Amino acid sequence: MHGCTSFCPTIISSAPEVYAKQIPLIQPKKGGAHGSNVLGLHLEGPFITNLGAHRPEYARSINLEKPLMHQIYECYGIQLENVDIITLAPEIPGITSIIPGLVEHGIVVSMGHT
């Protein structure tokens, strides 16, 4: 086998309706003898601070008065079974409190865009 054998397609910081539409469409898939495996989805943002190419109007923070996983569902939607990785900026107040809930869903949390 040559080149890229496996990858996680990425959705960058977007509006909630984009996540709701796109997340269910990207399924893990075996690439077979002549293709790459799709391992699962990578959600890069919107809980980040160093935006780079991300649009500022989609950046989000955490409201410490609301249930944490509820805020994740408000942002991404309820269908997280195809999600393998979420990138978060650790300096956002309260963001690290979300990590246990994401890990319970089998999601790897990557710290980035700080």
Q: What is the pLDDT of residues 33-90, one digit of tens each?
A: 778 899 999 999 999 999 999 999 999 999 989 998 899 999 998 889 899 999 999 9
Residue 2 has a pLDDT of 67
- Residue 68: alpha-carbon gap to chain centroid: 15
Q: Distance between CA atoms of 18 and 58, rounded to whole angstroms?
A: 11
- Residue 48: alpha-carbon gap to chain centroid: 11
Please report, to the nearest 10 degrees, the dihedral formed by the alpha carbons of residues 99, 41, 56, 102 taken in order: -10
1 pLDDT higher than 60: no
Supply the pTM of this predicted model: 0.90
